[in-house]
Chains A and B, each alone.
Chain A
Amino acid sequence: MPTILAVDDSASMRQMVTFTLKGAGFNVIDAVDGIDALDKAKKTKVDLVLTDVNMPRMDGISLIKELRTLPNYKFIPILMLTTESGTGKKSEGKSAGATGWIVKPFNPDQLLATIKKVLG
């Protein structure tokens, strides 16, 4: 099964996302912010990155920019978790190299549907 890197500074969101994805059989690695995620992304190969936008230390946008400079992450789907109010963040994320986004709040079914769609 594909491996997904789930990045969120909120522990409850991380738990929820991890639980949902693991329940669907994915391998999940979680990270608490951009720096943690970048570190983990370099150590292992993941098939999809799911990242929150607003995070301390390194936010989602910067993480996406950094990831896209890594050879292994040039073409990997990277999805942002964003709120509707963050319309500006969507295009900012897009120009940073994001594949797409999932709008918060979402429920586990929506999350899985989108991930499965992207991973085919």
Chain B
Amino acid sequence: MSIDISQFLDTFYEESFEGLDTMETELLGLNPGEADVESINTIFRAAHSIKGGSGTFGLMNVADFTHVLETLLDEMRDGRRDVTQLAVDLMLASVDVLREMLTALRSSEEVDVVRVTEIHDQLETLLKGDAPSVEDVAVETPVKASPSIVGWNVSFKPLSHLFKTGNDPVRIIKELSELGSIKANVDLSAVPEFDLLDPEECCLSWQIELSGGATEEQVRDVFAWVDEDCELIIDAITSETILEPETLKVVPVPDARDEAVPLEPETPVITPVAETKPVKVVAKKSVAVAAKNPHAAESGSIRVGIDKIDALINMVGELVITQSMLNQLGEDFTMDKVQRLQEGLDELEQHTRELQENVMQIRMLPISFSFNRFPRLVHDLSSKLNKKIELKMSGENTELDKTVMEKIGDPLVHLVRNSLDHGIELPEERVEKGKPETGVLHLNAYHQGGNIVIEINDDGAGLNIDRIREKAIEKGIIGENDSLSDEKVHELIFAPGFSTAEVVSDVSGRGVGMDVVKRNIRDLGGIVEVKSKKDVGSTFTIRLPLTLAILDGQLVRLGDETYIIPLVSIIESLQIKAGNVNSIAGGAELYKLREEYLPIIRLHDVFEITPVNTELINGLLVVVEGDGKQAGIFVDDLLGQQQVVIKSLETNYRKVDGVSGATILGDGTVALILDVAGLVALSRERVKILRNQAAVA
């Protein structure tokens, strides 16, 4: 029988990556010179698991690599080797290599052999270089297969405790018989009187003659599990030492264990372990699916706590009860039961909402998944930059949607790198300023309203307002005479192509980053802000929606169509006063709102639909803000507010400018969700073009 073990590979990869994360965290916590046994043990265990798994699943290059690493760790664990900075750094590099190897293997790509060999050799060198003085324990006796050997005489005298190791002499003798034909002679002389007999003790011994071409090693292998629990003498039978036949008495081997342990042929009882069962089922299913679809690795799986699954099952139970209640009510409905119908519907609504919340919960992961990479990043970067930096993290348990988490990773890394590179000063510079030598980078996350807020705070030099202004003028982002508040100047760092770093470093890249960071965050429906004070530090604040799947929307009517404006982007809605509308050259319109002029967006123009009315005074203006800029959207009427489930327009149709998605309303019709930032940009662009056209004309 042969079993396809590749179906367990996904689990193996997943747990290996987790193991590597653990190793990394523990390695970063190790202080050179101190052997923290607990930490080293944890690291060893993780490496050991990866080695065992990779060997089993046939990933021999991973197994070989981990073996060297494990040997190193084993020596540290036993105190035979010191924990040096060199060793820690090398082990961190090994973690990286393993991660790369496993990533490559998982996506069936080539492993970077050069890099693997390089680190592997460094590990070997470290191992050999100052190898601890240990005697080699395993000294193998060379096996000589002498042709004159025709069999073996085995004297097998188990010690009295043999049964207590779970071993059974009969099984061993049976196994021996597979090597050739045997004649066994049982020695009953040590068996005491019946009333003195202790059935838990073994008091039999055997003289066994094995004939056939078995090697001594094969014979010893049979007794490998019991060689410390018996007296064993193995003598070769050569052609000269053939035993005389009459001295042999073949005795059927009594099954000593039978009297020792009465094994009742019971059906094994499996105690149901209720709380783990549902999860097991889920896990199995995902394994089965993964096996059918070997490239599904990238689609990813998610680990869900049992409590969340239980809550879900609970909710479904409630829902089923409500449904059957409503069913019953519907069977013989009369008007006097309206009250009960209403109650039932209320209940249904409540359960549906709770179910929705619970389902959303499943996708929620603590942000520590994203934060966990930073200790390593800060460790590596601070040594590269010769800076002293302490990383503080708080709110790691704040949960957010898995998709949001995956997409926020890169922007976060960029902001952290930026703070380390440009924010925190060199130690001597800090001392000069009267600050502690070690800079502090603080990552914080918390929930606020329906958002998650992530803060990246450093106590570094702060943004240099004069330099940013100079640079912005130089790059033509602002005019020479533009007067800007400090906050506005700070925002300039998010402008495309802006970089104040005098030397382009490989740490924060070539200055193409900040605008990309801002765009990525905007794509997630979030915003990023910066607050900074010279020599006190900077704080970058990212605000993100908790999930990308559901949004609070304001329904608006335009002609026969219903559109949805995300509630977060609406500032206010107002009745249009004709006196405040200014038409500018080219046909664009501006609305004067408290000394500010807002471009008016006529949606029917943008989407080319027939409006019911084109008179501004007959409609309403919804003032929205997208990407820091405001505009007014002209609509016929405001309808209700509700949570809507976002469906992608791109996957179902194609990308439409000014529309971020669609949803299905209660009556079954489709409503488009407006991309406010896109619309605002669109309208500003339009105003500019119209102005220019007018100017030319």
- Interface on A for B, CB 8 Å cutoff? 1-3, 9-13, 15-16, 19-20, 23-24, 27, 29, 40, 43-47, 52, 54-56, 68, 74-78, 81, 83, 85, 87-88, 91, 94-95, 97-101, 104-109, 112, 117-118, 120
Contacts and interface: CB of A to CB of B under 8 A. Distances in A.
A98 B165 contact: yes
Most chain A CB within 10 A, of B42, B268, B270, is at B268
Contacts of B168: 120
B167 A100 contact: yes
Contacts of B48: 54, 83
Contact of A54 (B45, B171, B224): B45
Contact of A44 (B167, B225, B228, B270): B270
B458 to A, nearest CB: 36
Most chain B CB within 10 A, of A68, A77, A87, is at A77
B82 interface: no
B52 A44 contact: no
29 contacts: A9-B45, A10-B15, A11-B15, A13-B56, A19-B3, A23-B3, A40-B271, A44-B269, A44-B271, A45-B268, A52-B52, A54-B48, A56-B42, A74-B200, A75-B257, A75-B261, A77-B166, A83-B48, A88-B137, A94-B225, A99-B167, A100-B225, A104-B52, A104-B56, A105-B63, A107-B56, A112-B1, A120-B171, A120-B174
Contacts of A1: 268
B661 interface: no
Contact of A46 (B44, B56, B165, B268): B268
Given A44-B271, A74-B164, A100 B3 contact: no
Given A27-B268, A54-B44, A74-B200, A104 B55 contact: yes
Interface string B34-49: 0000000010110011
A45 B52 contact: no
A101 B269 contact: no
Given A74-B200, A75-B257, A105-B56, A117 B45 contact: no
Interface string B500-534: 00000000000000000000000000000000000
B228 A91 contact: yes
Interface in B40-98: 42, 44-45, 48-49, 51-57, 63, 67, 70-71, 74
A23 to B, nearest CB: 6
A104 B538 CA distance: 53
Most chain B CB within 10 A, of A3, A16, A68, is at A16
A100 B222 CA distance: 11
B11 interface: yes
Given A13-B53, A16-B5, A27-B268, 13 more contacts: A10-B52, A15-B287, A20-B3, A23-B3, A52-B52, A78-B166, A85-B70, A85-B71, A85-B74, A105-B56, A105-B63, A117-B171, A120-B174
Contacts of A78: 166
Contact of B271 (A2, A43, A68, A120): A43
A108 B3 contact: yes
Nearest to A106: B56
Q: Which 4 A-B pairs have the closest CB atoms?
A: A105-B55, A100-B225, A99-B166, A12-B12
Given A12-B57, A20-B3, A29-B270, A55 B71 contact: no
Contact of B52 (A83, A98, A112, A120): A83
B53 A12 contact: yes
A99 B164 CA distance: 8
User: For the complex, would chain B's binding face be called helix, strand, loop or mixed by DSSP majority?
Assistant: helix
Interface in B218-277: 224-225, 228-229, 257, 260-261, 266, 268-271, 273
A55 B45 contact: yes
A47 B168 CA distance: 14
Contacts of A24: 1
Contacts of B42: 56
Nearest to B78: A88
B346 interface: no
B49 A9 contact: yes
B480 interface: no
A35 B5 CA distance: 27
A98 B161 CA distance: 12
Most chain A CB within 10 A, of B48, B228, B271, is at B48
A99 B225 CA distance: 7
Contacts of B260: 75
A9 B44 CA distance: 13
B52 A105 contact: yes
B9 A12 contact: yes
B607 interface: no
B8 interface: yes
Nearest to B266: A45
A12 B167 contact: no
B2 interface: yes
A1 B168 CA distance: 19
A40 B428 CA distance: 60
Contacts of B494: none
